[in-house]
Amino acid sequence: APHLVVVGAGHAAAQLCASLHATDWPGRVTVVGDEPGLPYHRPPLSKGRLDAGEPGAAEAAGADLIRPEAFYDDHNIARRESVAVVAIDRAAKELTLRGGGEDERLGYDLLVLATGSLHRRPPIPGIDHERVHTLRTAAEAAAVRDRLGQASSVVVIGAGFIGLEVAASLRKRGLGVTVLEMADRVLARVTSEEVSAFFADLHRGHGVDLRLGAGATAIDDRLGGLRVRLGDGDAIDADFVVVGAGAAANDALARDAGLEIGERPFGGVVVDAHQRTADPAVFAIGDCCNQLSHLYGRRMRLESVQNANDQAKTAAAAIAGTPRPHVSMPWFWSDQYDVKLQIAGLSTGHDRCVLRGEPAVGQSFSAWYLQGGKLLAVDAVNDPRAYAVAGKLIPHGLTPDPALIADTSAGPKDLIA
């Protein structure tokens, strides 16, 4: 039977195991992951995991695992934990594994790269201080939680989704929170000015000291805490710092193995509509890969659970001999305080934003993005109905009349004519 090895044990790997199991593919699977433990849900790390009163309890009960241990055991999925793949020999179809002891070789017939993404670490002097944290793994989230007992203040560097979610979680825990963002608005890379303004108001209303156009220039050690220096000469003292400065494709392993890497700024392992690289034995799925979006007509690299799951399903279908090209609409969510943001599609490149409802704290509204008169994406704030309708329109290239979008006396269903 063919031996399939998955590199990385995150969202995409777990879904691939589940989807392959649902086919009659006869091979066997080994998952090699450099973290300890089974694949788990990452989104709660910056959300419920940080503001929970009793951290660790749910984790101990396995509540955040994507699949229970029995799933892997029952389906004979071999697992190597705390083991990194450090090299791929594509000619010999062998991997080099490193896990503390002697390096080992592991053969494969098929290889699936599911290595995710890596933090970007801005080149700020002092960023390697032990009180400066990043947040991608359960271990990193646990290190942040361990600070909370003694800490009363934090500086968050970066107002992207993870930075803002951490800010909201730590405000809920009662910490004084300062957020530094170099751009002139929050969530600048992912949303419109209208929605950015809403989220800035939301955080300020919850007592966050949000500083826009503010870059940290140095982080100094200061008597059991830190002092973050800003470009304008100001300085902020805090017990610890969390950096949320975005992520990059974890594609070095593939690059070293001679596989094609996408152009900047995305990077990522280049795959076709079936998640195949140019090497017929190697696939890539999830955050680490770069694929043409059929919906938007350009190559992209996405960082979302939906994308990881859908690409895993696509790869499983191709491996099982029932190929179905990847055709899904990107979607995403973020939870901050009592606000749930749901995003259908990608708003990048929009030339018009039509608001449905008032973007004011305490209200639900949605922002509809058009380009050349065509609906690209919808951001829905506490408005699951608008989000659901968007999910029915965007994949089919349908655009409601903008006047109707803005008219809240018409129900969301009226937008599907």
Q: Binding ligand FAD by CB under 6 A: which of 199, 332, 337, 387? A: 332
Give yes or no for residue 200 binding ligand FAD (CB under 6 A): no
**Is residue 287 within the footprint of ligand FAD (CB under 6 A)?**
yes
The stretch near ligand FAD (CB under 6 A) out of 171-179, 196-204, 219-227, 331-339 is 331-339
Please identify the residue of the shown chain whose CB is closest to the bound ligand FAD.
Answer: 10
Is 7 one of the binding residues for ligand FAD (CB under 6 A)? yes
Asked if the bond preceding 265 is cis, omega within 30° of 0, the reply is yes
SS3 132: strand
Neighbours of 23 (CB within 10 A): 13
Q: Among the candidate windows 207-215, 328-336, 342-350, 367-375, which touches ligand FAD by CB under 6 A?
A: 328-336
Asked if residue 305 binds ligand FAD (CB under 6 A), the reply is: yes
In sequence order, the β-bridge partners of residue 3 are 28
Which is nearer to ligand FAD, 153 or 306 (by Cβ)?
Answer: 306
When asked if residue 308 is in the footprint of ligand FAD (CB under 6 A), the reply is yes
Query: Counting contacts by CB under 6 A, is residue 115 touching ligand FAD?
Result: yes
Question: Taking Cα atoms as reference points, which of 179, 174, 196 lies closest to residue 187?
Answer: 196
User: Alpha-carbon distance 326 to 260, whole Å?
Assistant: 19
Q: Which range touches ligand FAD (CB under 6 A), out of 40-48, 320-328, 362-370, 373-381?
A: 40-48
**Stretch of residues binding ligand FAD (CB under 6 A), selected from 11-19, 57-65, 71-79, 405-413:** 11-19
- 253 near ligand FAD, rule: CB under 6 A: yes
Q: Quickly tell me which residue has 């503390």 as its tokens.
A: 100
Site for ligand FAD in 68-87 (CB under 6 A): 84-85
| Piece of 59-67, 233-241, 270-278, 332-340 that binds ligand FAD (CB under 6 A) | 332-340
Looking at residue 34, what DSSP letter applies?
S
Q: Is 293 in the site for ligand FAD (CB under 6 A)?
A: no
Please, what is the minimum distance in Å from the beta carbon of residue 15 to ligand FAD? 8
> Minimum distance from CB of 39 to ligand FAD (Å)?
7
Shortest distance (Å) from residue 254 CB to ligand FAD: 10
- Using CB under 6 A as the binding rule, whether residue 412 contacts ligand FAD is answered as no
What is the smallest separation between the CB atom of 34 and ligand FAD, expressed in angstroms? 4
Q: What is the DSSP string of 209-242?
A: EEEET--EEEEEEETTEEEEEETTS-EEEESEEE
Q: Are strands 28-32 and 3-7 parallel, antiparallel or unpaired?
A: parallel
Residue 177 to residue 198: CA distance in whole angstroms:
18
Contact 415, 405 (CB under 8 A): yes
Question: Could you tell me the two tokens for 382?
Answer: 């506490």
Say how many residues touch ligand FAD, by CB under 6 A: 36
Which residue, among 37, 44, 42, has the nearest Cα to 62 in the 3D structure?
A: 37
x/- binding map, residues 164-183, to ligand FAD, per CB under 6 A? --------------------
Please choose, from the candidates 146, 183, 153, 151, the residue with its C-alpha nearest in 3D space to the C-alpha of residue 167: 153
Smallest CA-to-CA distance from 205 within 361, 338, 79 is with 361
At a CB cut-off of 8 Å and minimum separation 6, what does 143 contact? 133
**Under a CB-based contact definition with an 8 Å cutoff, are residues 326 and 285 in contact?**
no
Q: How far is the CB of 315 from ligand FAD (least distance, A)?
A: 12
Query: Which of these segments, 265-273, 326-334, 342-350, 389-397, binds ligand FAD (CB under 6 A)?
Result: 326-334
Q: Tell me the window of 31-39, 67-75, 254-262, 271-279 that interacts with ligand FAD (CB under 6 A).
A: 31-39
Residue holding tokens 């895993």?
A: 312
Kindly state whether residue 344 participates in binding ligand FAD, applying the rule CB under 6 A.
no
d(CA 131, CA 219): 10
Compute φ and ψ for 158, nearest 5 degrees. Answer: 110, 125
Q: Footprint of ligand FAD on this chain (CB under 6 A)?
A: 7-13, 32-35, 42-43, 45-46, 84-85, 114-116, 135-136, 162, 250, 253, 286-288, 303-306, 308, 332-334
